[in-house]
Amino acid sequence: MMKTNNEIEHIANDVLIKFVKRGGVYKVFDEIMLAEGIKFKEIPSVSKDFVGALTKGNNSQVYIIINKNIDNLGRKNFTIAHELGHHFLCHQLHQNLGFCTVNDITEEGHQQNPIEREANYFASCLLMPEEKIKSAFLGMLERSRKAKIKDFLYVKNDYTFGIWILIRDELTKRYGVSEAALRYRLQQLKLARFEFL
């Protein structure tokens, strides 16, 4: 059963209301998994294709498994949020070999497979909830520029790129996401547009 973006966002917000008091959700991943009865494992897979999985063991224990060789913290958080998406959106558990690959977990959207697209959208909403990311972004935008347009950043030259760097460094750190994930979310919320990068 397909879900709309609104439905997915509501499900993500319910998780946030339950578990996050302040700051980024990535700080409470352990708490969420514990409450949901999910065990977390990192395995050193040499396969570049394997990124993460939500899977069930023989004892019906549910696991989130991610590739230990993911070296980017933002990417790692996005992967965990993506697997939590499969869990909270009640997607059928992957069979033993059906892991989420590098093509399934895309921080920039453009996903054809509807199940993977839903999990990616969930991850985006969970890591960067609209209200929080919007007010943080607009607050920084207002403080960092004198220009009149206050509610939108169009990155197209050195000046706007300079503003973007400040905002990017702050928000990727605060929400534990990669630049790619942040850019995609801001574009999706119609807060920014990027001419180059």
The contact set with Zn ion (CB under 5 A) reads 100, 104, 116, 119
* Residue 102: closest CA among 116, 88, 92, 89: 116
Closer Cβ to Zn ion, 9 or 116, answer by number: 116
Provide the 10 A C-beta neighbour count for residue 10.
12
Closer Cβ to Zn ion, 119 or 192, answer by number: 119
What are the backbone angles phi and psi of residue 32, rounded to the nearest 5°? -65, -45
Closer Cβ to Zn ion, 119 or 126, answer by number: 119
Q: How far is the CB of 92 from Zn ion (least distance, A)?
A: 11
Kindly state the tokens that stand for 162: 């300079």
Q: How far is the CB of 77 from Zn ion (least distance, A)?
A: 15
| CA–CA separation, 20 and 2 (whole Å) | 27
How does DSSP assign 12-67, residue by residue? HHHHHHHH-SSS-GGGGHHHHHHHTTEEEEEE----SSEEEEEEE-TT--EEEEEE
60 CB burial (10 A radius; 0-12, 13-18, 19+): exposed
| CA–CA separation, 101 and 176 (whole Å) | 21
Closer Cβ to Zn ion, 26 or 50, answer by number: 50
Q: How far is the CB of 14 from Zn ion (least distance, A)?
A: 20
Q: How far is the CB of 80 from Zn ion (least distance, A)?
A: 11
Closer Cβ to Zn ion, 65 or 119, answer by number: 119
Closer Cβ to Zn ion, 11 or 100, answer by number: 100
Q: How far is the CB of 119 from Zn ion (least distance, A)?
A: 5
**Which residue has the closest beta carbon to Zn ion?**
100
Q: How far is the CB of 91 from Zn ion (least distance, A)?
A: 8
CB 84, CB 32: distance < 8 Å: yes
